[in-house]
Structure 1
Amino acid sequence: LDNSDIPHRTRLAQLIVQSFAKEYQNMVDEIAASLGRVSFTSDIWSRHNLQSYMAVTAHYIIRTSKGK
């Protein structure tokens, strides 16, 4: 590997933020176009060292390219 093969940390952070923004917008668009309601579930837990976590899951139905 050469130094030019590895992006600088600021460029890497920029690429990650851009990728996240694109995927987030795709998710928002897909949920907005869903057929009917969106159901959410969540789970909250913590580790022994009191580090907390929260997971949120969305369930929804979309129309596929096959029309189903």
Structure 2
Amino acid sequence: MAGDDLWTTAGIAHRLAISAERARRLCARPDFPSPVQSVPYFDLWRASDVEAWLLEGQPDY
């Protein structure tokens, strides 16, 4: 589930096995990738950007 897929905070929460609230806080971090699209009520992140961020060694999510 990577590549050009777009994830909401719920998708990120699922991928990282964390709560949706924790994912929202994570997405607000300055070192987290920027969303590629914003639509009413939620943002979308490119899955490959999130995966790359994880591979860079962000252990304290």
TM-score class, shorter-chain normalisation, is: under 0.3
TM-score (norm 1): 0.26
TM-score (norm 2): 0.27
